[in-house]
Amino acid sequence: MGEAKRRKELGIPPREKPIKLPKLDKESIKKKVRSTLYKYPIIPFLFYGAAILVLIGGVIYVIKFYKLI
């Protein structure tokens, strides 16, 4: 006896199928990112600059907080 028949006889609703997530197309995402970076080549410099500013700000905050100077 299969599970579906047994569930029907017991009055239990059918088992719900698991939700399948859509697959990501990595190649199309890579192409979009590369085309954006080719179109706006300053973006990586902005990200690196922002990261450096955050690091410098964190160091200054730690120095002031612990009164190292």
Quick check: 52 and 44 in contact, CB under 8 A?
A: no
Q: Does a structural domain hold residue 5? A: no
Contact 43, 37 (CB under 8 A): yes
Within a domain: residue 3?
Answer: no
For residue 3, is pLDDT > 80?
yes
Q: Which of 52 and 68 is assigned the larger pLDDT?
A: 52
Is the Cα torsion angle 25, 30, 35, 40 positive or negative in sign? positive
How far CA 8 is from CA of 15, 16, 17, 18, 62, in Å, comes to: 11, 14, 16, 20, 66
The answer to the question of residue 7 being in a domain is no
The count of domains in the chain is 1
In a domain, 59, yes or no: yes
pLDDT class of 1 with cuts at 50, 70, 90:
low
pLDDT in tens, 17-33: 888 888 889 999 999 99
Instruction: Give the residue numbers spanning the domain of 58.
Output: 25-69
Is the pTM higher than 0.75? The answer reads no
